Structure 1
Amino acid sequence: MARQLRINLDLLLVQRKMSLSELAQRVDITLANLSKLKCGRAKAIRFTTLLAICEALDCKPGDLLDLE
């Protein structure tokens, strides 16, 4: 069985008491693209975007991405 990548964006947003739209503004990414990432429908993410999300959420990439 193939392993899957799980995105923990919902959990991090709740822990940080931040909305998806607030994160989109802080990271300067469209709400639609951020929503795709949150729902696991994104095919790729740029390292610069990943870094910006981690900075905005004060986390590490391993907190955001998990391999199942």
Structure 2
Amino acid sequence: MKIFVNNQEKTVVEGCTVKNLLKSMELTSSVAIWINDLQLLQGDYPTYILKEGDKVKIFKPMGGG
């Protein structure tokens, strides 16, 4: 199934959760996720199942100060 991650097309298996997506991309859950312009809470990463055509935006934390 095809989704878009940060505007790049990506193929994932049917039933893929956000947590599985992050694992496949070697990312931790300490990122902010928006799906179809709605923010997803970190507690929902393990259970939110991605759907065909979803537009996922991943934001990594930035240090600074």
TM range (shorter): 0.3 to 0.5
More helix by share: 1
Using the size of structure 2 for normalisation, the TM-score is 0.33
More strand by share: 2
Using the size of structure 1 for normalisation, the TM-score is 0.32
Larger RCO (alpha carbons 8 Å, 6+ apart)? 1
